[in-house]
Structure 1
Amino acid sequence: MTTTVHDNAPESRFEITIDGRLAGFVDYRRDGDEYALPHTRVYPEFGGRGVGSQLIVGTLQEIAARGGTVLPYCPFVPKVILDNPEYLDLVPEGQRATFGLD
């Protein structure tokens, strides 16, 4: 099984594909180096397999590689960050309490 996360910039979303099939996405609004993540969706046929977590981790890795910051408005994203604290620094310190990351 081949899983990839990539930026679909024209659609303003990071997508996860499994064996070439779109399995889910996380929308973003970009302002310079800041990425607001308002919504995550995993298609039902891919649910229950950790696809959402893989999508968010891949997204956070890509944003980190770009030197960006994250505003995790989608309630699922802070949960993934709490499970993967190495990404906490992507959320501006002054914004962390807003997302339950303090």
Structure 2
Amino acid sequence: MQVEMTDATEQHRYEGRVDGELAAVAEYLKTAELVVFSHTEVFPGHEGRGIASDLVRQALEDVRRQQLQVLPLCPFVGAWIARHRADYGDLVYRSRTTATPGRD
């Protein structure tokens, strides 16, 4: 089984298709510096086949090609990156601020 990934920019999501059928999506918001992944969903009949994992891997490779960082608000994307930290941990956005809230 091969997951064909496309970036549906107008819908703000990566789409994963299997045999031409939409099987999963990874929704995002994009800024000039990063991609915020907000939700990943696998549609009925496609669960348990690794489609979301393949979609997220391909989406992260696309983010890398764009030289952007990732803010994984979606629990699935965050857990996936944690399991593949050696390969994708460098993409995770880290704040550059050193300010401490509540201090004057």
Determine if the TM-score, normalized by the shorter chain, exceeds 0.5: yes
Matches within 5 A, 1:38-57: 38-57=38-57
- TM-score, normalisation: structure 1: 0.86
CA distance in 2, matches of 1:83, 1:7: 24
Counterpart amino acid of 2:77? V
| Residues 29 and 36 in structure 2, CA contact (< 8 A), matched pair in contact too | yes
Gaps of 5+ in 2: 97-104
Counterpart amino acid of 1:73? L
- SS of corresponding position for 2:48: coil
Name which one, 1 or 2, has greater alpha-carbon Rg: 2
1:3 CA displacement: 2.0
CA distance in 2, matches of 1:43, 1:3: 13
CA distance in 1, matches of 2:17, 2:55: 9
What per-residue deviation string (whole Å, max 9, x for no partner) do you get for residues 20-56 of structure 1?
Answer: 1100101111111311011111002100111111111
1:89 aligned residue: 90
2:102 aligned residue: none
More helix by share: 1
Gaps of 5+ in 1: 96-102
1:80 CA displacement: 0.8
- TM-score, normalisation: structure 2: 0.85
CA distance in 2, matches of 1:31, 1:92: 12
1:8 CA displacement: 0.4
2:20 aligned residue: 20
Correspondence 1:34 to 2:34: yes
Identity %: 33
Correspondence 1:67 to 2:67: yes
Q: Which moved more, 1:1-10 or 1:23-32?
A: 1-10
Counterpart amino acid of 2:90? D
Which runs of 4 or more aligned residues in structure 1 lie more than 3 Å from their structure 2 counterparts after TM superposition? none
